[in-house]
């Protein structure tokens, strides 16, 4: 049994949510949209489902978010046909605090259940599924908006993930990546009339020991939302990741996400969506459902 979360499932989870800062991704709380909103109109929602936005939540604001992202991986077409597959059901609880108008921080704790299935044998059978459940890894992320102009925000995000998840045992797979990692990304958010757009590009890098052949990953994404009503913003997003490995093939994955953001009030927001891997190399095809609830305290 591998000592950490199996690589194929870890890459699928990374494709779904990179260092899940749930509070930063679920919405913008009471922060104003970049530029001046129309008088009497609510600011546009800049949060997206799988692409981090560039708008902090505001000085002194506190947000609590709960996200559930069940992810199913199965061998798919060529390039998405790695034999190791299974089901991962992570739940993440995030607490975000606005340190200043242009700076916020989010602490994320997680738990998960995992079922891993190997490749079937020649007779169609295969090893019995391995199952595990328990705590997952924890992360801390900071977002600093360094530019705010009419209709445009730019920010940098930095984060650190600690391997606090349940380790593997003789009978259960692990729920941790097994090593410390750092994240750095550049994000942008823009208003385009009734449309909102967010984009990000970044790097995830192991720090310290224990990563083995893993050499981190490059990732990026872009999302477009249409604020059809103050309480509803359908969104379409595309994300890409390139996971690096020493002495082995790199893994690549391109995924599409469709869903909706529902800022029901100034205190409560919901987001829901579905993500599907549509192209890849040396990984598995994944499908993820996304559901998050955000509460501004």
At residue 128, the pLDDT reads 65
* pLDDT surpasses 80 at 83: no
Express each pLDDT in 229-288 by its tens digit.
999 999 999 999 999 988 888 999 999 999 999 999 889 999 999 999 999 998 888 899
* Predicted local confidence at residue 18, as pLDDT: 44
- The pLDDT of 2-14, averaged and rounded, is 51
pLDDT exceeds cutoff 90 at 101: yes
Average pLDDT over residues 113-135: 70
CATH superfamily of domain region 7-115+133-296: monomeric porin ompg (2.40.160.40)
In the structure, what pLDDT confidence band is assigned to residue 140 with cuts at 50, 70 and 90? very high
Instruction: Give tens-digit pLDDT for 33-66.
Output: 444 444 445 567 788 899 999 999 999 999 999 9
Closest CA to 241 of 278, 280, 207, 276: 280
Tokens of 71: 């992810």
So what's the pLDDT on residue 169?
Answer: 84
177-223 pLDDT tens trace: 889 999 999 999 999 889 999 999 999 999 988 888 889 999 999 99
Q: How far apart are CA 93 and CA 217, in angstroms?
A: 24
52/28: higher pLDDT: 52
Residue 24 to residues 29, 64, 144, 155, 238, Cα–Cα distance (Å): 9, 10, 12, 12, 18
Which position has the higher pLDDT, 144 or 8? 144
Tokens 């947000």 locate to 63
pLDDT confidence band for 172 (50 / 70 / 90): confident
**What percent of the chain is modeled with pLDDT above 70?**
81
* pTM score, whole prediction: 0.86
- pLDDT tier at 31, thresholds 50, 70, 90: very low
């Amino acid at each position: 049994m591998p000592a950490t979360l199996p690589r194929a499932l870890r890459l699928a989870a990374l494709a779904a949510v990179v260092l899940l800062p749930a509070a930063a991704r679920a919405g913008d709380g009471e922060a104003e949209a970049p530029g001046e909103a129309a008088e009497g109109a609510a600011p546009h929602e800049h949060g997206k489902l799988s692409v981090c936005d560039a708008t902090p939540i505001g000085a002194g604001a506190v947000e609590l978010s709960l996200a559930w992202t069940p992810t199913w991986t199965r061998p798919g077409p060529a390039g998405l046909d790695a034999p190791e597959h299974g089901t991962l059901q992570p739940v993440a609880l995030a607490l975000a605090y606005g340190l200043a108008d242009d700076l916020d921080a989010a602490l994320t704790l997680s738990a998960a259940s995992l079922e891993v299935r190997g490749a079937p044998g020649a007779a169609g059978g295969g090893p019995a599924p391995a199952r595990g459940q328990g705590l997952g890894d924890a992360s801390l992320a900071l977002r600093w908006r360094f530019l705010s102009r009419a209709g445009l925000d730019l920010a940098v995000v930095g984060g650190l993930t600690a391997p606090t998840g349940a380790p593997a045992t003789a009978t259960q797979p692990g729920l941790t990546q097994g090593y410390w990692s750092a994240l750095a990304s550049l994000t942008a958010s823009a208003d385009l009339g009734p449309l909102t757009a967010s984009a990000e590009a970044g790097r995830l890098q192991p720090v310290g020991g224990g990563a083995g052949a893993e050499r981190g990953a490059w990732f990026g994404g872009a999302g477009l939302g249409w604020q059809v009503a103050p309480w509803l913003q359908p969104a379409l997003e595309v994300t890409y990741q390139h996971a690096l490995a020493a002495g082995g093939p790199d893994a690549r994955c391109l995924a599409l996400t469709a869903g909706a953001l529902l800022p029901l009030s100034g205190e409560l927001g919901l987001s829901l969506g579905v993500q599907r891997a549509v192209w890849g190399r040396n990984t598995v095809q994944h499908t993820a459902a996304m559901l998050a609830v955000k509460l501004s305290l």
